Structure 1
Amino acid sequence: MTTTRSVSGPEMYATTPDPRARFRDLLTAEWIKLWSLRSTYWVLGLGPPAVIGINVNSARSNADRLAHQPELPPAPPPGFTDGPEMLFDPLATAFVDPAWQLLMVIAGSVGAIAVFGEYTTGLIRTTFAAVPARRAVMAAKVTVMAAVMLVLGAVVAVTSFGVTQAILRDHHGVSIGDPGALRAVAASALLAPLCALVGMALGALVRHAAGSIVAVVGVLLMLPSLFGGETYRWVKEIGNAMPLTAWHALVQNPTRDYGVDKYPVSVAEAWIVFGAWSLVAACVAVAVVHRRDV
């Protein structure tokens, strides 16, 4: 004889707790969300070719100018910078300021969009309802963004360097093994994830589309110009702690004389600036999202 037991009271509503979301699943979710934004395709599809194009145009202009110079005099002694071939730095053609400042804005904007986009659409409420562990969600978002931007930065840096130096191969173009070349390519590749993390931190703080983009431009490009003077040491030291200033120090050709800088930033200090900004930006993004209401 089979008997049945009726269930009533608290047992009727008892449910098995949902398993905790694995970090791998959060990474997959953030990857899907990043590429579900149409702005991601537009910005990443049009921005990198523009950056590479500016650098390539610089190389072509210099190659054409040097091709029409009169016959060169004997090679100058080391350290002497006279002569038509020494009027420009071949390495610098791959790292033209306007091009890489554009990349900084692109990377910072994509990072900001990845955060404030969820707030403006209300998707952030769904995200935190499904995964209450806000720190884990934001850590996954930071990881995906840093990885994507690192690949983007590496592609742009390697392509810019390779194409520009191929154009200048008959005009003392440099190879990746020459002094400062590998460092410049690495610094330019890392500039993209750095700026993306800064954009994420600003997007988490501002949580508004226009305000976040303005903040990205202000922090990454305007602040270095405000603290670029050498009148006071403390002003210059603040400027030296900016990502743009650190990038300038890392892409300089060590074989060239750029004049005397009263308060220069060393290569080691520049790398520290890169690491510190990336770490602080990631921590700010995670902490702000965890503490503030949606």
Structure 2
Amino acid sequence: MTTPYQATPYQAYASPIPVQSTGLGHALRSEWTKIRTVRSTMWTLGVMLVLVIGIGLLVASLVSSHTPTGTPVLAFGFFGVLLGSLPVITLGVLVISSEYSTGMIRTTLTACPSRSRVLAAKAIVFALIAFVLSTLACLIVAGADAGMITGSGIPSPSGSQWLRATVGAGLYVALLGLLALAVGAMLRHSAGAITAMLGVVLLPLLLALFMATQSLATVRTKLIEYSVPNAIATLYGIPMLSTGPQGWTPLWILAGVTAVALAGALFVINKRDV
């Protein structure tokens, strides 16, 4: 007589490797590993430091003996920061667009399906690196300016001027890089996003220079007032026009624009397949 078959109870496989739920901290460590191990980071940030510090010190040495009366001592760091922001913009685009061009974004989203977490981790890691390095470079230049540029009729920089020329300039450069990251996330194309950001930085002022007619005077004035070069110049106390945003206002304007762009990037990333 045959014995009826009896099924053994199913036992789930238990991995000996500890399993823990992932969070933002894991994404931050992943992005930190990525950004510090690629050559583009070293090149772009290295060029930024050379431009900000090198041009800042060069200009300070050239004008130290004949500085115009009434010119803020720290104002000459403007030239290096304006040019130094361009490599940071390039890196901001590459932080995310390079993953689309190589296909690495599929691996990233497989390891971390939460797209908002991926974008937040990239933005936080990049913004901290850009802010710390650009602020350090601005601080070196500001210290050199204060030591090299002296003379009668040249006022000593106030605490507010020091803060805007160092922390303010560093924040502005970091926000420009974050805006570039958001544009890169929306366009998913390195060359296109970098070109778009260069247009944002340079095109308004260039257009204003060609608007010589009186009928375009209002448009010309607004383009200059809200251009990126004028915003950086305002932080250094040398605005191109006496009208328009003053003090810290250009920084808050860029922060608002960047927040909107990041929200748009998050919306686009969540709507796309990859």
Q: TM-score, normalised by structure 2?
A: 0.82
Output the CA distance in 1 between the equivalents of 2:122 and 2:228: 22
Where do 1:110-189 residues align within 5 Å? 110-169=91-150, 175=156, 177=158, 180-189=161-170
Match of 1:287 among 258, 267, 270: 267
Aligned residue for 2:8?
6
Aligned residue for 1:28?
29
- Gaps of at least 5 residues in structure 1 are 67-83
The 3 A distance-change label for structure 1 pair 289 and 238 is farther
The CA deviation at 1:20 is: 4.1
The CA deviation at 1:43 is: 1.3
Aligned residue for 1:94?
77
Contact 1:91–1:174 at 8 Å: present in 2 too? no
The CA deviation at 1:273 is: 0.9
Identity, in percent, stands at 27
The 3 A distance-change label for structure 1 pair 54 and 39 is same
RMSD across aligned C-alpha pairs, in angstroms?
3.0
Output the CA distance in 2 between the equivalents of 1:259 and 1:12: 71
- Matched letter for residue 146 of structure 1: A
Contact 2:205–2:224 at 8 Å: present in 1 too? yes
- Structure 1 window deviating more from structure 2 (189-198 vs 221-230): it is 221-230
Contact 2:139–2:166 at 8 Å: present in 1 too? yes
The CA deviation at 1:227 is: 4.8
Aligned residues: 262
- Matched letter for residue 95 of structure 1: F
Aligned residue for 1:245?
230
Is the partner of 2:244 in helix, strand or coil?
coil
The CA deviation at 1:266 is: 2.8
- Structure 1 window deviating more from structure 2 (226-235 vs 144-153): it is 226-235
- Structure 1 window deviating more from structure 2 (220-229 vs 279-288): it is 220-229
Is the partner of 2:8 in helix, strand or coil?
coil
The 3 A distance-change label for structure 1 pair 200 and 12 is same
Output the CA distance in 2 between the equivalents of 1:268 and 1:148: 22
Aligned residue for 1:70?
none
Q: TM-score, normalised by structure 1?
A: 0.77
Where do 1:152-231 residues align within 5 Å? 152-169=133-150, 175=156, 177=158, 180-227=161-208, 231=216
Q: CA offsets per residue over residues 74-103 of structure 1, 9 Å max, x none?
A: xxxxxxxxxx7518543322222xx22222
The 3 A distance-change label for structure 1 pair 38 and 62 is same
Aligned residue for 2:3?
none
